[in-house]
Chain A
Amino acid sequence: MKDEIQVGFIGNPNCGKTTLFNAYTGANLKVANWPGVTVEKKEGVFKYHNHRFKLVDLPGIYSLTSYTMEERLTREYILNSNVDVIVNIVDASSLERNLYLTLQLIELGKPVVMALNMMDIVEERGMEIDLHRLPEMLGIPVVPVSARKKTGLDILMHTVAHHRSKHMDQNLEHHHLKSAEKDPGHKHHEHRHEHHMEYTVVYNDKIEDKIDEISEFLQRKYGEMVNPRWHAIKIMELDESVLKKYPLELKGIVYNSYEEEIINQKYDFIEEIIEEVLVNKNKKAASTDKIDRILTHRYLGLPIFLLIMAFVFFLTFQIGDFVKGGFEVTLGAFSSGARYFLTTIHAGNFITSLLVDGVIAGVGGILTFLPNIFILFLALAYLEDSGYMSRVAYIMDGIMGKLGLSGRAFIPMLLGFGCTVPAIMASRSLENMRDSRRTILITPFMSCSARLPIYVLFSQMFFGKYAMLAAYSMYLLGIIVAILVAFAMNNKSDKNVGNTLLIELPEYKSPNIRTILIYVWEKVKEYLTKAGTTIFAASVIIWFILNFGTSGMVTDMSQSFGAMLGRMLEPVLAPAGLGMWQVVVALISGIAAKEIVVSSFSVLFHIGNITSPSGMASLTDILGQYGFGALNAYALMVFSLLYTPCAATIGVIQREMRSTKWTLFVIIFQLGIALLVSTLVYQIGSLFF
């Protein structure tokens, strides 16, 4: 017996799966991708009694067909990995819908334990679930848990440990009344099959006969096949991936797909279960409906959403900047301390300059933006965890529909305010490839948090009391450009229903602090890692190309390699008011990560503490000497907003698209848009100012 128990967590989206997973593993988890795809894979290990449990968090799914990548992945995992027990997390407040996945999981044949979550919502509504009858009808153990209050956790793992070698250990007690009523020839006590004693889901005689026939065939042809019954059912549904793996001469057995009958009979059984186990159905109106009456109101829904977003950005900029002040003072002290220390130990000019002007200026400048980014991600996580995010899809559906996209495409766009990389991954959940592509094309225009340092710095330097307005306008401009591009790309002749909205609206819940903090911590960790790796490396490289020229180390930066490179491209950016080699270098380096535009300015102009009032004042002075004023700064902000996304984003676009041609198109297209819009802004602006 192996001493590690592998447990797969499976459930519908919004069933509290991640919260439950986090309750066991805490922040102590390994996040990677499933092989070959960009679906996230989370794993955590913990010990309980003498067992070591390895938990695997699978994607949230509604069904186990092979229609989506997430569903196929989950199915493959259950069938082919050495998972010992499946924990099926079920939202008790929508038990009926959740049971559909449960029945499919049970049919797969691995041991299943149900974790019945959100019982508090059920009780709040005055409903009750018969916890004695439910396991009897399903033939699997049912453990009530609360992921939020962390109750039932030990019992669940105890059950998992005991259940791992058992497939069906409980006495099944069900009689399939519904199918008997609908099928007059079918009498339960005269059933030719013993299946009611063996299997949870039993179909009518016609289908059961076929299943038996096909599974016999399969066993004869493929010998030691695991769970021939499941494969037989899938073959009757004409499931492509099963038919491909186990080709079978179907003539004379399956003429057409039985998929619809199989699905309907599963739902018949679910109705039967609900009738028996759910007491006081619909006793009290759910509080969700009361909240929805306001938040999804015909006329108020949209203004409320806009107000919420305005509030999110207010917090990000105002409160974030307030906290940022403290970070700047620390950085300033650290920078001068380091310079003093390096001078006293007689470190050479080279080392001192590299460390203080290169590394500390570049990386430190970025770290001071941590408070803004923390607040932004906190707010986005709150919106997501509360259940509001999917309402946004409903509210925006009308507007998005005019662009030929479903309201659902707005969710990746909204996530894009945080970070473009996960936003692009989220666009995969869209119904068809064409919509995903269009969404991927416009998502980078939604201003991500990495571009925020650029706005904060330049708007504070040049726009005084209008700084916040200038920064806000970037977000607005990004949205407008995204909408225009989506509109231009819209193929109106397309009458496909594939891109219409279809999304579940979960119950509202007060967000779980732990889930949110773990999520935000992951983001902060990513940000710190980026500062320590990409931004660190880029700062060092920039320092080198700016301090070395054809004649070795140079004292005048304008003789450096960087200056030479920048001058070559000056003419291209000149119409946008950005024809300074320093700006060109900063923008090129920004492709590694957008924050580096700010780091580059610190390195370029030898400003150790770029975000402090004195640092900003001296940068404004220096730039002023080159004739770089407010309008140039605004054009720079516009260009930074729109141009080629960062290397990480380009990477994820390539992986999602699997097309180098398309990825190149995205890069060039966005560079073109950025040049066009910033030139327009600068040229038109020049007429007035």
Chain B
Amino acid sequence: MTLQNAKIGAVYTVKSLDLDRATTRRLEALGLTKGTDIKILNRSRGGSLILMVRGSRLAVGGKIAETIHTEEVS
């Protein structure tokens, strides 16, 4: 599943990123890499998400969220 249909409050592990090189590098600089655990903090009506990644908060637009493939951590 992608981050787009993630539940608020749940934790997910990133499996793969399906993005162009520049955006992938920007995500990596912010700590979001393959294998990272992500907690979903909030979702706006427009589909943007607030994520907790490696101890800091990121706001991510819907178009990026739908390219991040994840697996829920039980």
Chain A residues engaging chain B, CB cutoff 8 angstroms = 62-63, 65, 67, 93-97, 100, 263-264, 267, 270, 288-289, 292-293, 296, 298-299, 301, 390-391, 393-395, 397-399, 401, 406-407, 431, 497-498, 500-506
Contacts and interface: CB of A to CB of B under 8 A. Distances in A.
Contacts of A391: 59
A154 B1 CA distance: 52
Contacts of B41: 289, 292
A293 B48 CA distance: 15
B33 to A, nearest CB: 6
Interface string B20-50: 1011011111110111100001111111101
A464 to B, nearest CB: 41
A636 B1 CA distance: 56
B35 A264 contact: yes
Interface residues of B, number: 37
B30 to A, nearest CB: 6
B30 A502 contact: yes
B67 interface: yes
A502 B59 contact: yes
B23 A502 contact: yes
B56 A398 contact: no
Given A498-B20, A505-B50, A65 B25 contact: yes
Contacts of A431: 22-23, 26
A397 B61 contact: yes
Contact of A501 (B22, B27, B53, B59): B59
Contacts of B53: 97
Contacts of B58: 502-505
Contacts of A406: 61
B46 A401 contact: yes
B45 A298 contact: yes
A479 B33 CA distance: 38
Given A93-B55, A97-B30, A398 B19 contact: no
Contacts of B35: 264
A259 to B, nearest CB: 8
B7 interface: no
The 3 closest A-B pairs by CB, nearest first: A398-B46, A500-B61, A63-B29
A498 B22 CA distance: 8
Contacts of A293: 42
30 contacts: A62-B29, A65-B29, A67-B26, A93-B55, A96-B54, A97-B53, A100-B31, A264-B33, A267-B36, A288-B57, A289-B41, A296-B44, A397-B59, A397-B61, A398-B44, A398-B48, A431-B26, A497-B63, A497-B67, A498-B22, A501-B48, A502-B26, A502-B27, A502-B58, A502-B64, A504-B30, A504-B57, A504-B58, A505-B59, A506-B57
B10 interface: no
Contact of B28 (A263, A393, A398): A263
A397 B28 contact: no
B61 A401 contact: yes
Contact of B56 (A97, A270, A298, A401): A97
Nearest to B66: A497
A275 to B, nearest CB: 13
Contacts of A63: 25, 28-29
A99 to B, nearest CB: 9
Nearest to A96: B54
Given A67-B22, A67-B26, A500 B63 contact: yes
A390 B57 CA distance: 11
Contact of A94 (B28, B33, B56): B56
Contacts of B63: 497, 500
Contacts of B20: 497-498
Contacts of A394: 44, 48, 50, 59
B61 A501 contact: yes
Nearest to A61: B29
A395 B36 CA distance: 26
B23 A395 contact: no
B57 A500 contact: no
A100 B36 CA distance: 14
Nearest to A270: B54
A94 B52 CA distance: 11
Nearest to A98: B56
A292 B61 contact: no
A229 to B, nearest CB: 21
B42 A500 contact: no
B54 A264 contact: no
Q: Which of A391, A497, A503 has its CB near the most chain B CB atoms (within 10 A)?
A: A497
A497 B33 contact: no
B44 A500 contact: no
Nearest to A395: B44
Q: Which of B35, B50, B53, B57 has its CB near the most chain A CB atoms (within 10 A)?
A: B57
Given A67-B22, A96-B31, A502 B50 contact: no
B56 A267 contact: no
Contacts of B34: 264
A292 B29 contact: no
Contacts of B56: 94, 96-97, 504-506
B20 to A, nearest CB: 7
B10 to A, nearest CB: 15
B48 A292 contact: no
B46 A397 contact: yes
A683 to B, nearest CB: 37
Contacts of B67: 497
B52 to A, nearest CB: 9
Given A96-B31, A96-B54, A301-B44, 19 more contacts: A62-B26, A67-B26, A96-B55, A97-B53, A97-B54, A97-B56, A100-B31, A263-B28, A292-B41, A394-B44, A394-B48, A395-B44, A398-B44, A497-B64, A498-B20, A501-B48, A502-B61, A505-B56, A505-B58
A501 B49 CA distance: 10
A501 B50 CA distance: 11
A477 B25 CA distance: 39
